[in-house]
């Protein structure tokens, strides 16, 4: 019996050990578990929400990523996500413009982080984080783009393990007149960012508009972030089957119903004089109308400005808001928003050469462009050289270097990563050739030295 009991203990220990060391399949972002989020119901009244999708997860056997990815400016019990911590990853394709996420865990401080982009370059665009307490964390993220893949990181406080349930749904706000819209963007940003001098087309599609209080669609306003070059903005004027007017782009702000209305498209019935404030809207945009396409083309600024605001917002107004109809409505219609940032720029590189051939006294410096710190610097170079510095406010210098090419990867606060290289040089080998002249009866002897390599000026110290 004792022998059998001993055998059972060994088996039990082996079994528990195997549980401890087994990593979840979604231990890293690259193995993120896909969650299928239900479709958001067609717009009716108020907020329409998909059914909750619940998945069971575990941190048992999970390990922190290396390097560990985390966010700041969190909601909940702390503004900074715990770092490092055991974490697991999920992904989903958005079906609405809002995500509502809840984690109920057996560990005390669940953390939720939300990312756009790809596993190779997370960040930019939509994101957010929440630090929970008492085993519960909740996070709401807005301005999603339906059809886009997003990532969720679930972790605890440092060292915490345990199990949890993750619940997620997507939603749309359907209050008001505007009931059916979509936005197409070409080209899409790469990891939530656009480089300088990139031309992008945005097409805002209106497919369903309810005439609340007999309000007809009267205006579509466009707001562009500061990173766009407004001098490059062009637009199309949609064609309507209505015969009593046309859609026209109005560049000059105007006042209607005590409110100033910005640039955008407005329905005009008395061409060629543009006065949107004295018009009704387009009666053809109804609950069953074909899509109306409002398209603009605009280019990012030529200068590389990391983190610059490349947002685009499309808003709408009924003729009771920006036109001449007497019944107000539609003020609760939500804007359709697109968010991107200016991509990070290769850092400026400089180097200090070696003083002498083969003696490692060189240095290299990477200086970031912009103000998107703190930065993380990952250096590599000859002889398997590596160096990492995190939380750096500005430039980063490494010293004591051998000659060769050094590569640095710089990661900014938006998790945008970019690389550059620099050459650390060294002088040639210092050599000298001595040429003697033998003395004779009338002339003393001499020795001349021909020096090459090294770094001039030279110092001579003779001995004999």
Least confident of 88-102, 119-133, 360-374: 119-133
CA atoms within 13 A on the CB side of 399: 3
The encoded tokens of residue 250 equal 């109005």
Least confident span in 13-22, 114-123, 370-379:
13-22
pTM of the shown model: 0.56
For residues 139 and 130, the answer to whether their CB atoms sit within 8 Å is: yes
Domains located in the chain, CATH noted: 26-173 (2.60.120.380), 178-342 (2.60.40), 348-424 (2.60.40)
The per-residue pLDDT for 104 is 98
What does the pLDDT read at residue 4? 28
**How does pLDDT run across 236-267, given as a tens digit for each residue?**
998 887 878 889 999 999 999 889 999 999 99
CB 392 within 8 A of CB 409: no
pLDDT band of 45, cuts 50, 70, 90: low
Distance in angstroms (rounded) separating the CA atoms of residues 286 and 292 = 10
Q: Answer yes or no: are the C-beta atoms of 443 and 430 closer than 8 Å.
A: no
Q: Which of 276, 270, 262, 284 is nearest to 217 (CA)?
A: 284
Question: For residue 382, which phi and psi values (nearest 5 degrees)?
Answer: -60, 150
- pLDDT band (50, 70, 90) for residue 19: very low
Asked if pLDDT for residue 5 goes beyond 50, the answer is: no
Contact of 368 with 411, CB cutoff 8 Å: no
The span from the CA of 259 to the CA of 91, in Å, is 42
Residue 333 has pLDDT above 60, yes or no: yes
Going from the C-alpha of 77 to that of each of 69, 91, 157, the distances in angstroms are 19, 25, 12
Calpha distance 57→104 (Å, rounded): 10
How many residues are there in the chain?
A: 464
Give me the half-sphere count of Cα atoms (radius 13 Å) on the Cβ side of residue 137: 34
CA dihedral 251→255→261→265, nearest 10 degrees, is: -50
Task: Say if residue 339's pLDDT is above 60.
Answer: yes
- pLDDT tens column, 205-235: 988 887 776 788 999 999 999 999 999 999 9
**Stretch 336-353: mean pLDDT, rounded?**
93
Considering only residues 208 and 34, tell me which one the structure prediction assigns the higher pLDDT: 34
Measured CA to CA, the distance from residue 365 to residue 321 in angstroms comes to 56
Question: Which DSSP state fits 213?
Answer: G
Reported as a single tens digit per residue, the pLDDT across 56-109 is: 999 999 999 988 988 988 999 999 999 999 999 999 999 987 899 999 999 999
d(CA 3, CA 43): 69
pLDDT at position 156 is 96
- Alpha carbon distances (Å) from 167 to 26, 48, 172: 17, 17, 17
368-382 average pLDDT score: 93
β 431-437/446-452 pair status: antiparallel
Each residue's pLDDT tens digit, 390-418: 999 999 999 999 999 999 999 998 888 88
> Higher model confidence: residue 264 or residue 334?
264
Q: Which residue has the tokens 């083309």?
A: 297
pLDDT(9) > 60: no
Highest mean pLDDT: which range of 126-130, 177-181, 373-377: 373-377
Say if residue 12's pLDDT is above 80.
Answer: no
pLDDT for residue 33: 98
């Amino acid at each position: 019996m004792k022998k059998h009991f001993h055998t059972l203990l060994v088996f039990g220990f082996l079994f528990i050990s195997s549980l401890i060391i087994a990593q979840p399949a979604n231990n890293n972002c690259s193995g993120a578990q896909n969650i299928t989020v239900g479709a958001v119901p067609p717009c009716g009244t108020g907020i329409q929400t998909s059914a909750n999708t619940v998945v069971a997860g575990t941190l048992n056997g999970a390990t922190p990523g290396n390097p560990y990815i985390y966010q700041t400016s969190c909601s909940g019990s702390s503004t900074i996500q715990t770092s490092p911590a055991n974490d697991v990853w999920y992904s989903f394709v958005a079906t609405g413009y809002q995500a509502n996420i809840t984690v109920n865990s057996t560990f005390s401080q669940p953390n939720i982080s939300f990312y756009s982009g790809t596993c190779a370059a997370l960040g930019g665009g939509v994101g957010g984080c929440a630090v929970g307490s008492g085993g519960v964390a909740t996070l709401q993220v807005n301005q999603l783009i339906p059809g886009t893949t997003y990532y969720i990181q679930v972790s605890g406080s440092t060292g915490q393990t345990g199990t949890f349930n993750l619940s997620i749904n997507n939603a749309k706000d359907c209050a008001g007149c505007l009931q059916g819209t979509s936005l197409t963007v070409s080209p899409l940003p790469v990891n939530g960012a656009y480089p300088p001098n990139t031309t992008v087309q945005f097409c805002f599609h209106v497919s369903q508009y309810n005439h609340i209080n007999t309000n007809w669609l009267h205006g579509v306003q466009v707001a562009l972030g500061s990173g766009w070059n407004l001098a490059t903005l062009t637009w199309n004027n949609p064609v309507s089957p209505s015969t009593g007017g046309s859609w026209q782009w109005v560049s000059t702000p105007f006042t209607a119903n005590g409110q100033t209305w910005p640039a955008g498209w407005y329905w005009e019935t008395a061409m060629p004089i543009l006065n949107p404030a004295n018009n009704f809207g387009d009666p053809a945009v109804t609950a069953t109308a074909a899509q109306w396409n409002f398209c603009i083309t605009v280019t990012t600024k030529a200068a590389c400005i990391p983190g610059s605001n490349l947002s685009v917002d499309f808003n709408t107004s009924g003729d009771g808001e920006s036109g001449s109809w007497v019944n107000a409505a539609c003020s609760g219609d939500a804007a359709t928003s697109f968010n991107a940032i200016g991509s990070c720029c290769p850092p400026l590189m400089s180097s200090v050469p070696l003083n002498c051939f083969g003696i490692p006294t060189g240095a290299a410096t990477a200086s970031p462009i912009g103000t998107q710190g703190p930065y993380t610097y990952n250096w590599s170079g000859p002889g398997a050289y590596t160096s990492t510095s995190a939380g750096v406010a500005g430039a980063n210098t490494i010293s004591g270097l051998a000659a060769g090419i050094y590569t640095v990867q710089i990661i900014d606060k938006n998790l945008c990563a970019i690389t550059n290289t620099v050459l650390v040089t060294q002088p040639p080998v210092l050599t000298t050739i001595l040429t003697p002249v033998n003395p004779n009866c009338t002339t003393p002897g001499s020795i001349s030295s021909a020096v090459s390599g090294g770094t001039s000026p030279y110092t001579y110290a003779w001995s004999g």
